[in-house]
């Protein structure tokens, strides 16, 4: 099961998959809502 993020801007739920996640050079990733373009940084991942 993919984790789901709730967009605080448009209120939609999106699966945290590689379509919406942008990997950073560090362990953080950025989630970009494809509905409104809102970005959430520093998402906590299960890695490490």
Which residue's CB is nearer to Zn ion, number 4 or number 27?
A: 4
Does the CA dihedral 35-5-14-10 come out positive or negative? negative
Residue from the set 5, 16, 38, 43 that interacts with Zn ion by CB under 5 A: 38
- Annotate each residue in 1-30 with x if it binds Zn ion (CB under 5 A) or - if it does not, as one string: ------x-xx--------------------
Residue 48: CB minimum distance to Zn ion, A? 27
| Cβ contacts of 16 within 8 Å, gap of 6 or more | 2, 3, 4, 5, 31, 43
């Amino acid at each position: 099961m993919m984790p789901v993020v709730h967009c605080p801007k448009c209120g939609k739920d999106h699966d945290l998959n590689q379509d919406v996640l942008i990997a950073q050079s560090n362990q953080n990733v950025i989630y970009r809502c494809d509905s409104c373009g809102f970005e959430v940084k520093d998402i906590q991942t299960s890695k490490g």
